Structure 1
Amino acid sequence: MRAVQIAQHAADLTRATAFYSALLGAEPVASFDPPGLVFFDLDGQRLLLDAGAPSALHYYQVDDLDAVIERLRAAGATVESPPHVIFTHRDGSLGPAGTEEMQAFVRDTEGNIVGLIAFRLNRSQPA
């Protein structure tokens, strides 16, 4: 089994589409208006923006968390929690072994929280 689609609340589809296009670095793959649906492709999983959907907390892995946060901040996004270490992966069960998991949280244009994740080498481990 694998997840196929995440539905996210978007009261203003134009505004939300611009935010997620900037965040994901991609334009939508489909839009239907009416009824007011916008789809993005996330490597085979769909992100659906829909006024009728509830708010969902979803996380995206990024390569450079600081750069993404600065880009979103410059575009006017609210950073709810700046990048910080939340977990050290000693084995590979939840993330790459020997890395620290960094997370940050931003608020999208519709008031939803979005999590961003990056992995970096564990600085406390000997080289």
Structure 2
Amino acid sequence: MRLAQVAQHADDLGRAARFYSALLQAEPTALFDPPGLLLFDLDGVRLLLDRGAPSSLVYLAVDDVEAALERLGPDVEVVSAPHVIFRHEDDTLGPAGHDEQQAFIRDSEGNTVGLIGFRAV
């Protein structure tokens, strides 16, 4: 079994497309409007932005948390600034010998999104 899709609420699909395109550095893979669905491919897992979906807390792996925030520009709302939450001594949850850094932002639709990055120590 594998995760196939995660849904996130979006009122304005155009605005959400611009926000997530900047964050993910990728264009949407599909738009179906109506009924109000926008999809991105995240390495085989679909991110569905849906007018009818509830908000969820989605964590996205990025190469560099600070660089991702810079791409989004000064207007992005940072809920929690980048900070180290865990040092990986082994590879159970992430690459051994790396600190896991997280930040939380508010997307264009009001959802909280977690960003995760790893740094060698």
Interval of TM-score (by shorter of Structure 1 and Structure 2):
over 0.9
Aligned-residue Cα RMSD (Å) equals 0.9
Give the SS at the match of 2:79: strand
Checking the alignment, whether the CA contact within 8 Å between 1:105 and 1:115 is kept in structure 2 is yes
| C-alpha displacement of 1:73 | 3.2
Is 1:57 the counterpart of 2:57? The answer is yes
Structure 2: give runs of 5+ residues left out of the alignment.
none
Give the SS at the match of 1:104: strand
Map of 1:111 onto structure 2: 110
Q: TM-score normalised to the size of structure 2? A: 0.95
Query: Matches of 1:109 and 1:103 in 2, distance apart?
Result: 19
Say which one has the larger Rg: 1
Equivalent residues in 2 for 1:53-92 (5 A)? Answer: 53-74=53-74, 76-92=75-91
Equivalent residues in 2 for 1:1-127 (5 A)? Answer: 1-74=1-74, 76-122=75-121
Query: Matches of 1:51 and 1:79 in 2, distance apart?
Result: 23
Query: Matches of 2:17 and 2:11 in 1, distance apart?
Result: 11
Structure 1: give runs of 5+ residues left out of the alignment.
123-127
Q: TM-score normalised to the size of structure 1? A: 0.91
Deviations 1:20-62 (A, max 9, x none): 1111111111111111111111111101110100111111111
